[in-house]
Amino acid sequence: MNRPYSRELSADTSTILIPLITLVAFVISIFYIAFNSEFVQSWPYWLIALIYPLTSYYAWHLVRKDQIERANLLFIVSSLIFLLLLISDKWVMGSPLPYVFGVFIIISSMTIHPNVSLLVWGVSAGLLVLVVSLANPTISRESLFSLITPILVNFFLAIAAYLSAYEWRFAVESINELHRKVRIRRNELFTIQEELQYKNAILQSLNQEIEKARSAAIEERDIRTRFMNMVSHELRTPLNSIVNFAHILSHGARGPVNEEQVDYLTRIQHSGWHLLGMLNDLLDMAQIQAGEFDLQLELTDLHEVCEAAIKHTSGLQFENKLAIQTNYPKMWPPVMADPMRLQQAIINLLGNAYKYTSEGYICLHVRVVEPWVHIGVEDSGIGIPPEHLERIFEEFHQINQSVARRRVGTGLGLPITKHLIEQHGGRISVKSQLGKGSFFTLSIPIWNPNKNETIEKLR
Ligand code: ADP
């Protein structure tokens, strides 16, 4: 049950005030009795000393049994009776005794109910006048009027007690309500904490599983690397032999060959190169996916790299015989790069330009826009449909165009190029118009010796 907090405070106050006031009254009575030997004169004090503690004890007992209102009513009534007894017995004009009612007015407002303060005041005022006039039938009017001051003082006290008791109750209940909410929140927090502990335990077990999976993945990666190395060696060696022997034979090094034989041998060479290219792409992609793709960074001469890429691509046999145009800057900026990998990226773009351009031009642009250097490969080929522009950088994504279909590829060239350039702290972009041509751009940061930038920072 949600017991009002102000009631609890009333109980606490009563438990302290009832014995305290009783003790004070008892001590005063004992003193009075001790200094006035005549029993007849001090009989009200005898009553206070003997009966008041008994009624107070009973009231206190009721408080302990949680009957706070009854207890306080009993205490206030008995106190008023004893006070009136004293007043009736020893009434002199200007006596301070009527002011003592104020104490009980305040106590009643705090411990019973705010309204009771006014009731206690009314009853006490009425009884005061009655008792004084009954006990002193010859009392003068003037003497009776002197009671007006304590009655008025008590009235203001009752009003003040009434108002402040209401305020006090309201404040106490508000605080209690806040306290209740805090308790609820605290309980919620406890629940959340328990849930967190539970989730933590789950997390720990998940972590252990992840750790197991990680070890398994590392083991698997080692097996795959060994397999890749084996495949690379086992396939590349015979392929190289095929290409080289075909080359030697086609040049008549082992006896004369006719035109038709030269043609066949050249085709064998081209197919071998093509297979080697595809094999290299697959191995690169496998390395990228395994996170084992490392660059050998060094201060690189970009001009040299571009020229080497052009030379390499021109050496490859494409159906068309387009010459590569160049559009170079006056000053070549220094770049921190892996020359072989950068060259591979440019070769991929130039190779694609050849593959997808049957007539027109292919141009290699190099443009410096601090802090970047842009390497662009432009062609006047078949172009790329807009909906494919983003997706061509995804692995194995090839466009199902009739012209493109005739060019054999793995669909790995662009994803590898993208990865290579991003490893250099750069990015790749493309603009293209279907049927008009494409413009691929590799942008890499220019090396800045002052900043001493590392590739890690550039990313
Ligand atoms: P592929 O080995 O098929 O060339 P890439 O990853 O290099 O694989 O290219 C993916 C696809 O992007 C190609 O299949 C082709 O359709 C398109 N593509 C790439 N470069 C060009 C280009 N210069 N002109 C037109 N299409 C291109």
- Give the C-alpha separation, 274 to 408, whole Å: 9
Query: In angstroms, what is the span from residue 352 Cα to ligand 1's centroid?
Result: 6
351 lines ligand 1 (CB under 6 A): no
404 lines ligand 1 (CB under 6 A): yes
Encode 85-96: b = buried (16+ Cβ within 10 Å), e = exposed.
Answer: bbbbeebeeebe
Q: Reduced to 3 DSSP states, what percent helix, strand and coil does the chain have, rounded to the nearest 5?
A: 65, 10, 25
Q: What is the pLDDT of residue 401?
A: 55
Q: What is the pLDDT of residue 405?
A: 46
DSSP annotation of 375 reads E
Query: In angstroms, what is the span from residue 411 Cα to ligand 1's centroid?
Result: 7
Query: In angstroms, what is the span from residue 398 Cα to ligand 1's centroid?
Result: 7
Q: What is the pLDDT of residue 320?
A: 67
- Give the C-alpha separation, 349 to 379, whole Å: 10
Residue numbers in the chain where pLDDT is lower than 50: 1, 404-405, 455, 457-459
Closest CA to 5 of 158, 174, 162, 165: 174
- Give the C-alpha separation, 37 to 57, whole Å: 28
Q: 122 near 108, Cβ under 8 Å? A: no
Q: Please give the full DSSP string across 379-428, using - where no structure is assigned.
A: E-SS---GGGTTGGGSTT-----HHHHHS---S-HHHHHHHHHHHTT-EE
DSSP annotation of 450 reads T
- Give the C-alpha separation, 264 to 261, whole Å: 5
- Each residue of 215-236: pLDDT tens digit? 998 888 788 778 877 887 888 8
Phi and psi angles of residue 59, each rounded to the nearest 5 degrees, phi first = -60, -45
- Give the C-alpha separation, 365 to 383, whole Å: 18
Angle value at C-alpha 435, between 430 and 441, nearest 5 degrees: 15
Retrieve residue 57's tokens: 């004890």
Q: What is the pLDDT of residue 2?
A: 53
Q: What is the pLDDT of residue 316?
A: 67
Tell me how far CA of residue 86 lies from CA of 97, 173, 317, in angstroms: 8, 39, 131
Q: 442 near 345, Cβ under 8 Å? A: yes
392 lines ligand 1 (CB under 6 A): yes
Beta-ladder partners of 432: 438
